[in-house]
Amino acid sequence: MASQAEPQARTRIAVQAVSKVFSDQPQKALAMLEAGETKDVILERLGTVVGLNRVSFDVAEGEILVVMGLSGSGKSTMLRCINRLVEPSAGAIVVDGTDVTRLNQKDLLEFRRHKFGMVFQHFALFPNRTIQGNVEYGLEIQNVPKAQRAEKALAAIEVVGLKGWEAKYPNQLSGGMQQRAGLARALAVDADILLMDEAFSALDPLIRRDMQGELRQLQRKLGKTIVFVSHDLDEAIALGGRIVLMKDGAIVQIGNPEEILLAPATDYVRRFVEHIDVSSVLTAERLADRGVAVLRAGHTAAEARLAIASCQQTSWYVTDEGGRLVGRATREQVERCTGTIGAVMEAGCDRVEASATLRQAFARLAANRDGVAVVDDRGHLIGTVTHRGAARALARDTAGTAAASAEEARHGLVHPKISA
Amino acid sequence: MDWSIPKFPLDTLCDQALTWLTVHLSGVTLAVAGVIANWIEVSTAALSAVPPPITIVVLAAICWRIAGIRPGIMAAAGLAFLWNLRLWVPTVETMILVTLATSAALVIGVPLGIACALSRRVWRTVGPFLDMMQTMPSFIYLIPAIPFFGLGPVSACFATIIFSMPPVIRLTALGIMQVPRELIEASEAFGSTPMQKLFKVQLPLAVPTIMAGVNQTIMLALSMVVIAAMIGAGGLGREVWRSIQRLEAGAGFEAGIAIVIVAVILDRVTQKLALRLRPTGQAAH
């Protein structure tokens, strides 16, 4: 899968078997959790509420990890355990080699000051402070000198696009702008881990989408590691990172959006993803049929005719020697050919980027009867998306697409025999 | 058969406790009372010595600065009317008494309110006492005040402090406890110490509620002033008390109106002050 193919990034946060039991005497409940009892059983027998049930996951350097679940699933509790706004009852949370759960009060304050920036659902801006005053808060707590504080705060305000609003009070700003200020406050302290608790849930749908896009851009630009809590699967998918899906305080599935959509681990996940529009998640790269025959621009007429002799199709993609897509040639063109294929082919042809979603590829598909070519970011031909493939993906014929593409990925492009 | 249960000697116990306290403490308290009585006397004399127009203009100007032009004019007119009624000296006495009692109530009440908000145990301990302080008929405080502080304004002041303190304690605690959970979390998430959290987030956001408590405390102090006149506190209360004893309805009404005027001025000014200290930070001009 795509995420595993990427180079292994350093683990920033390792959550190891964290449990949270809301009780003065958690031992009994923890023992029952250990024995595999569910949240409901423990509530019934002990009257103890279980917040988290042995949750484990890693957050890699520079990723957006979305912790997702409905209300009461423990996702916010999980987030708050990372900076110990909520004390975990058991387990360890290792951030950059330090077990947060073992820090004493003084070290914990230091850790919070320098490691984490936090963004809240209802913005949590201090109404008695200006935007700049709010953004400076974290620095003020660290006793940073005034001039330096202002400088950093203004820089953060500019990054989130609130320049010119720094002297206003939170109640003079719209919801979206207030949350930008909340983000600026988290950025100003130079912490490289952002904890975001339903950060966009209180915003209008349109503003929310904009903010999701901006957060992705910001994350790419600043390389922050982000743990984002959300109850909205669409949002989780839009943010593009891995998803930790929680239910009743336990993890149900961890994976990237495609894995969760196409291979739901349980019925619960399946129901969860049912309404999700697959076309906005699946990428052209994933859908590409890699078993497509191609011709090289440098092929002579004889070579080309030999190559197409056993093929049924009526046209072929043409690549240069480096594998870059340069055009398309029909059977007729090949048969008329006297010099090289490059001379007779139709130069340039419709294509979609590998990272484009199926939804974005629809227009191209509609315009091309034989499907559309998929190229990577250097223009190399990867394969084609066919109408049939697209329809199968929409029908969630997961066995088909997943198995087939894995198989084909191993073989790479199928070249006509003589090109060897 | 005699089913009667012997009376529980609450009164005797209370008297004994008071006697014990009087014997062991009154030396100190009376000495303190002497100093305070002296201070009250001197400041009253000093303020009465200033020609009333000057005092009126200064007070009106203060009201104007704090609360705006209308309360300023109202204060000037009201105080001038009191002067005209020949009630100027009692008014000054009353204002000094109220100021003193209120300041003391705030100095004790605000920190106590903070402690209540931060510690559940303190809140549970203090709560019943607040209930008692507020529901106990205010006259009762006058009786034990006398052995400790002697007859006169200091006893009156003491009783006034006790009577007027509960609102500021309650509302300070309430104001702090009402700060939204998310704001507390935000301050903690950035690594605030408990003190930073208190002074940078909780107290500033509690200010409007605390000011409502201050307002209540002032009003209660003013209402206590009349009752305190029974044990020799001076001021407008004495005028009222004298009118009652002599059945002079007109004089009583004059003194009553005077108290109303002082109350309205103090109320408007403190309310405006509360508005100005709203957490949005915008002045309410």
Rounded mean pLDDT of chain B?
87
* Structural domain count of chain B: 1
pLDDT of B1: 59
How far does the CA of residue A128 sit from the closest CA of chain B (Å)? 4
Q: Does B284 touch chain A (CB under 8 A)?
A: no
How does pLDDT run across A328-374, given as a tens digit for each residue? 888 888 888 888 888 778 877 888 888 888 888 888 888 887 788 88
Which chain B residue is nearest to residue A183, measuring alpha carbons?
A: B186
Residue B168 located in a structural domain:
yes
How far does the CA of residue B184 sit from the closest CA of chain A (Å)? 9
In A, which residues are within 8 Å of B282 by CB distance? 169
A140/B200 touch (CB, cutoff 8 Å), yes or no: yes
A124/B193 touch (CB, cutoff 8 Å), yes or no: no
Mark out chain A residues that contact chain B at CB-CB < 8 A: 80, 83, 85, 109-114, 116, 118, 120-122, 124-130, 137-138, 140-142, 169, 171, 185, 189, 195
Q: How far apart are CA B56 and CA A219, in angstroms?
A: 64
Q: Does B178 touch chain A (CB under 8 A)?
A: no
| Domains with residue ranges and CATH for chain A | 2-276 (3.40.50.300), 284-419 (3.10.580.10)
Q: Which residues contact A52 (CB under 8 A, 6 or more apart)?
A: A18, A19, A20, A74, A77, A78, A81, A88, A249, A250
Beta strands in A238-293 (DSSP E): 243-247, 250-255
N residues, chain A: 420
Which of A104, A119, A125, A128 has the most B C-beta neighbours within 10 Å, making it the best mutation to test the interface with B? Answer: A128
B190/A124 touch (CB, cutoff 8 Å), yes or no: no
* pLDDT score of B131 more than 70: yes
SS3 A114: helix
B191/A111 touch (CB, cutoff 8 Å), yes or no: yes
pLDDT of A140: 93
Name the residue facing B188 among A85, A121, A195 (closest C-beta).
A85
B189/A110 touch (CB, cutoff 8 Å), yes or no: no
Name the residue facing B189 among A83, A125, A169 (closest C-beta).
A83
Tell me whether residue B124 is exposed, middle or buried, using C-beta atoms within 10 angstroms of its C-beta: 0 to 12, 13 to 18, 19 or more.
exposed
In B, which residues are within 8 Å of A130 by CB distance? 281
B189/A195 touch (CB, cutoff 8 Å), yes or no: yes
B279/A127 touch (CB, cutoff 8 Å), yes or no: yes
B116: domain CATH number? 1.10.3720.10
Could you tell me the end-to-end alpha-carbon distance of chain B, in angstroms, rounded to an integer? 77
Q: Does B11 touch chain A (CB under 8 A)?
A: no
Query: How does pLDDT run along chain A (420 residues), one tens digit per residue?
Result: 344 444 567 899 999 999 999 988 888 888 888 888 888 888 888 888 889 999 999 999 989 999 998 888 999 999 999 999 999 999 999 999 899 999 999 999 999 999 999 999 999 999 989 999 999 999 999 999 999 999 999 999 998 888 999 899 999 999 889 999 999 999 999 888 999 999 898 888 888 888 998 898 888 888 899 999 999 888 888 887 899 999 989 999 999 888 888 888 898 888 888 888 788 788 888 888 887 778 888 888 888 888 777 777 778 888 888 888 888 888 888 888 888 888 778 877 888 888 888 888 888 888 887 788 888 888 888 888 888 888 888 877 554 444 444 444 444 444 443 333
pLDDT of A346: 80
B183/A126 touch (CB, cutoff 8 Å), yes or no: yes
Once rounded to an integer, what is the mean pLDDT over residues B243-253?
90
Q: Does B181 touch chain A (CB under 8 A)?
A: no
Portion of chain B with pLDDT greater than 70, in percent: 96
- Give the other-Cβ count within 10 Å of A308's Cβ: 20
How does pLDDT run across B89-100, given as a tens digit for each residue? 888 888 888 888
Taking CB atoms and an 8 Å cut-off, how many pairs form between chains A and B?
Answer: 72
Beta strands in A152-285 (DSSP E): 193-197, 225-230, 243-247, 250-255
pLDDT of A404: 47
Once rounded to an integer, what is the mean pLDDT over residues B185-190?
94
In B, which residues are within 8 Å of A112 by CB distance? 188-191
pLDDT of A243: 93
SS3 A144: coil
A141/B182 touch (CB, cutoff 8 Å), yes or no: no
- Longest CA span, chain A: 87
A141/B192 touch (CB, cutoff 8 Å), yes or no: yes
Which chain B residue is nearest to residue A106, measuring alpha carbons?
A: B193
| B221-241 b/e (C-beta count within 10 Å ≥ 16 → b) | bbbbbbbbbebbbbbbbbbbb
pLDDT of B271: 85
* pLDDT score of B281 more than 80: no
* Contact predicate A225/A13, CB 8 Å: yes
In A, which residues are within 8 Å of B204 by CB distance? 126, 128
DSSP state of B202: I
B191/A138 touch (CB, cutoff 8 Å), yes or no: yes
Q: How far apart are CA A396 and CA B160, in angstroms?
A: 79
Which chain A residue is nearest to residue B203, measuring alpha carbons?
A: A128
Q: Which residues contact B162 (CB under 8 A, 6 or more apart)?
A: B133, B141
CA B189 to the chain's CA centroid = 38
ipTM of the complex: 0.75
**Can you tell me which residue has the tokens 């003193």?**
B100
Considering only CA atoms, give the Rg of chain A.
Answer: 27
How does pLDDT run across B55-76, given as a tens digit for each residue? 899 999 998 988 888 888 999 9
Residue B212 located in a structural domain:
yes
A94, two tokens: 């290792």
pLDDT of A398: 52
Name the residue facing A113 among B183, B190, B282 (closest C-beta).
B190
A128/B279 touch (CB, cutoff 8 Å), yes or no: yes
From B137, B149, B280, B146, select the one nearest B207 (Cα to Cα): B280
A112/B189 touch (CB, cutoff 8 Å), yes or no: yes
In B, which residues are within 8 Å of A129 by CB distance? 281
Range of the domain at B103: 99-276
**Can you tell me which residue has the tokens 């102090």?**
B221
Which of B179, B190, B192 has the most A C-beta neighbours within 10 Å, making it the best mutation to test the interface with A? Answer: B190
How does pLDDT run across A71-103, given as a tens digit for each residue? 889 999 999 999 999 999 999 999 998 999 999
B186/A118 touch (CB, cutoff 8 Å), yes or no: yes
Q: Does B190 touch chain A (CB under 8 A)?
A: yes
B190/A137 touch (CB, cutoff 8 Å), yes or no: yes
Q: What are phi and psi of A144, to 5 degrees?
A: -70, 140
A389, two tokens: 């493939």
Which chain B residue is nearest to residue A125, measuring alpha carbons?
A: B183
DSSP for A361-415, written as a single string: HHHHHHH-TT-EEEE-TT-BEEEEE-HHHHHHHHTT-HIIIIIHHHHHHHH--B-
Once rounded to an integer, what is the mean pLDDT over residues B141-168?
85
Q: Does B279 touch chain A (CB under 8 A)?
A: yes
Alpha helices in B178-278 (DSSP H): 181-189, 194-197, 203-228, 236-246, 249-276
